[in-house]
Amino acid sequence: MPGFRAATALCVAFAAVGLTGCSGDFSSVDVAQARVTAKENAVTQAEADLAAASGEFCDASKTYITALDRYGDVLNATAPTVGDIRVAGADLTEPRADAFAGAEAAVEAQQALVVAEQELVDARAALQQAQGGSSDASPSSADQPTSTPLAPATTVDRVTQAEAEFTAAQGAVTDDTTLTDASEQFNSAAVALEMAWLQLFADAGCLSDAQQQQAQEIVRAYTTTLQQDLAAAGHYAGAVDGVYGPATVAAVEDVQKANGLPVTGTVDKATAAALQAELEALGGAAAQQSTATTAAVQQTLKLAGFWDGPVDGAWTPELTEALKEFQSALGVEPTGTVDSATIAAFEKTIAELQNPEPSPTPTPTPTATNEP
């Protein structure tokens, strides 16, 4: 009996807003208010469903990224063999499926929230019409719910492309593929895929504000060092700003093209080794600059009295400021980055600290005697 079921549902809605009685004699305002309340509850539930789906996606994608890192080495140092590469699908298939399923569920939950919000807007417009008796109470454009994608389309497209490239790289490895070729092909594709998923992980809101800030600082410090090395090797002429933008991607691709490596724009093992070899071949300031690691910077600044933090190899904003102070004290341009002038200042400071100039020996004063 559809009529009876509808009346029962309406009674439940009325009970939710505190109306008593269910005799069937309801005003249009009562009915409209009950619908608004029901739609508000629906929005609340949709928001909870989206939060849960997003959490599941973040957990699944984190597991997949961790599995990928065995072959990409972005997070932890590993050394996969050809055998590992041939059977990589065994430990990636399930995490990948879970990550994609989590993404689809999150997108569906977001769409459901948009529908619930639109229904709430319509219900409120109907209530306004019932209260005012107006026949034209359609919701304005300002009331319409807006839908923000869980992640930018470019990020999603890059993940899709990287997945295809990774599958192709894995399929290209055969029993006749040498270990060197397999490492170059597979590691480059794995790094590109892992980087794409890390970007999606961040863009989808899987990091807290503090984690997001920390990740940005780490990426900026890494990119700054990379740009310095690329510039020293003659591949990069842009600003050393710590932004992994198109100019930096193009410079990395230039290194890969020059060394016959897969062109991905991301730094894998082979690309890092090729860049290091170029710097060592150049010698002089370029080689010195390439070996000026963060830990070395921290140690030098500590010896010079400009750094009281840990020597842990982690570049932080505080370390940048300490470096600027050190550069200013030595008359070097305070760029906050390790350039050739700063390297020279480092070496001079270390030499002075390790081999201080001896204090002049005072000449003994003759003692007066009774001798003529």
Does 244 share its domain with 320? no
End-to-end CA distance of the chain: 141
Asked if residue 270 has pLDDT above 90, the reply is no
Does 59 share its domain with 182? yes
Reported as a pLDDT band with limits 50, 70 and 90, residue 371 is very low
Asked if residue 86 has pLDDT above 70, the reply is no
pLDDT of residue 224: 86
Asked if residue 62 has pLDDT above 50, the reply is yes
Contact 72, 92 (CB under 8 A): no
Does 280 share its domain with 298? no
Does 251 share its domain with 114? no
pLDDT of residue 295: 64
Please give the Cα distance from 330 to 349 (Å, whole number): 9
pLDDT of residue 179: 58
More confident residue, 132 or 119: 119
Q: What is the mean pLDDT of residues 88-115?
A: 88
Does 275 share its domain with 216? yes
Sequential DSSP letters for 108-140: HHHHHHHHHHHHHHHHHHHHHHHHHT-S--PPP
Contact 319, 294 (CB under 8 A): yes
Does 164 share its domain with 264? no
Q: What is the mean pLDDT of residues 55-81?
A: 77
More confident residue, 44 or 319: 44
Q: What is the mean pLDDT of residues 297-305?
A: 76
* Token output for 108: 């569906």
More confident residue, 361 or 172: 172
For residue 30, which of 46, 21, 195 has the smallest C-alpha distance?
Answer: 21
Does 13 share its domain with 162? yes
**Which domain does 332 fall in, by range?**
294-354
Q: How many distinct structural domains can be found in the chain?
A: 3
* Phi then psi dihedrals of residue 351, to 5 deg: -65, -40
Does 60 share its domain with 105? yes
CA atoms within 13 A on the CB side of 51: 6
* Cβ-based neighbours of 364, under 8 Å, separated by 6 or more: none
Residue recorded with tokens 């608004």: 36
Contact 170, 96 (CB under 8 A): no
Average pLDDT over the chain reads: 76
> Around Cβ 117, how many Cβ atoms within 10 Å?
20
Contact 169, 186 (CB under 8 A): yes
More confident residue, 2 or 349: 349
Report pLDDT digits (tens) over 147-206: 677 888 889 998 999 899 888 877 776 767 665 666 677 777 888 888 889 889 988 889
Does 255 share its domain with 130? no
More confident residue, 354 or 162: 162
Q: What is the CATH number of the domain that holds 274?
A: 1.10.101
In percent, the amount of the chain with pLDDT more than 70 equals 67
pLDDT of residue 13: 46
Asked if residue 102 has pLDDT above 60, the reply is yes
Burial 152-181 (b: 16+ CB within 10 A, else e): eeebbebbeebbebbeebbeebeeebeeee
* Cβ-based neighbours of 266, under 8 Å, separated by 6 or more: 188, 191, 192, 195, 252
* Token output for 93: 């298939």
Ramachandran region, residue 91 (left: φ > 0; alpha: ψ -120 to 50; beta: rest): alpha
Asked if residue 241 has pLDDT above 70, the reply is yes
